[in-house]
Amino acid sequence: MQVVDGKGWQVQVDDEPLRIGPLELHTRLLMGSSGYPNVQTMLDALEAAGAELVTVAIRRINLKDRSEESLLALLERHGYRVLPNTAGCYTAREAVLVAQLAREALETNLIKLEVIGDDETLLPDVEQLLKAARELINDGFVVLAYTNDDPITCRKLADLGCAAVMPLASPIGSGMGLVNPYNLHLIREMIDDVPLIVDAGIGTASDAAMAMELGYDGVLVNSAISQAEHPVLMARAVRHAVEAGRLAFRAGRMPRRFYARPSSPMEGRVGH
C-alpha cells in the first residue's frame, strides 16, 4: 500500500519480508521458548507476539521425545518454525556437535550459534565463536551467530558467510536494555549486506523499539517476555514496539539540534 506524505511523495507503507538465508519472515520479532511459568503461557505469548520463528536450546531438550506434549511437537503443531540453538556450549567443538545433532534430529540446516566464554557473564568466546561459525558454514549450515557488540567481530562473522549476525544489547537475561547504542549504531553502519538482529538484554518494549529505530532488521526476545509479570501482555507490547520502531526508522527521524527551533514559522506573526 502507498500513501502520499506531506511533501507529495509516494511512500510504501507495507514492509518487505525479513529474509535470513532460506527464511522469509513476515514478522521482525523472533522469540525464545524458555523460562515461561508453564507451556500454555508460552503458547499464548507466542501467539500474542505474532511469532513465526522460535528458538530452542538443543542441549536442554530431549530430541527423542516426540510425544504430543513435547516442546518440539507443540511448536510444530501450532505452526511455528523451530530455530535450534547451541546454548550451553563453551567450545567450537561442542557447538558444532550440537548443531549436527540438531540437523539430524530436526532435519534443518538452520542453527543459532552460541559459544559462551563463562558462566557468570555468558558473554561470547569470540575465538571459539569464529572457529565454530567457519566450520558450520563450510558444512552447509545456515548460521545465525550470537555475538558481542563489537563491530570488528560482527564484520568478521558477516564476511565468513553467516546468514545473520546477532549482537547483544546487554548480557543474556540481564534485561539491561541497550547499554551501548553507539556500538550497535556502528555495527549497523558497517554492515549493510547481512541481516542484523539484536539478541539478548532486551528488558521491555521500549528497548525493542530503540533497537529497531537504529535500523536493525529484527530482535530476538526471550526473558523480557517469559519473565514479565504478565508475559502475554508483554509479548503484545514488544510486538507493537518492534513494528513502531521499524516504521520510525523507515520514516526517518528529524535532525537533532542543539538549540530550540520554533515549530511555527516566524514570518507573518501578528505585530510584525
Q: Is 70 annotated as a binding residue?
A: no
| 263 HSE (CA, 13 A, CB side) | 1
Q: Which of 64, 112, 131, 156 is catalytic?
A: 112
Residue 146 to residue 116: CA distance in whole angstroms: 10
Q: Is 173 annotated as a binding residue?
A: yes
Listed in sequence order, the residues at least 6 apart from 193 whose beta carbon sits closer than 8 Å to its beta carbon are 158
| 3 state DSSP class of 128 | helix
The CA-based dihedral angle spanning residues 4, 245, 210, 52, taken in that order and rounded to the nearest 10 degrees: -160
Report the amino acid identity of residue 79.
G
Element (H, E) at 265: none
Q: Is 88 annotated as a binding residue?
A: no
Q: Is 148 annotated as a binding residue?
A: no
Residue 95 to residue 113: CA distance in whole angstroms: 7
Q: Is 48 annotated as a binding residue?
A: no
Task: Indicate if 7 belongs to the active site.
Answer: no
Residue with cell 534430529: 105
Residue 10 to residue 27: CA distance in whole angstroms: 24
Q: Is the dihedral of CA 61, 64, 70, 76 positive or negative?
A: positive
**What is the DSSP annotation of 154-217?**
HHHHHHHT-SEEEE-SSSTT-----S-HHHHHHHHHH--SS-BEEES---SHHHHHHHHHTT-S
Of 31, 180, 55, 72, give the one whose Cα is nearest residue 114. Answer: 55
Binding-site positions read 173, 200-201, 222-223
Binding-site positions for 1-deoxy-D-xylulose 5-phosphate read 173, 200-201, 222-223
Give the catalytic positions in this structure: 112
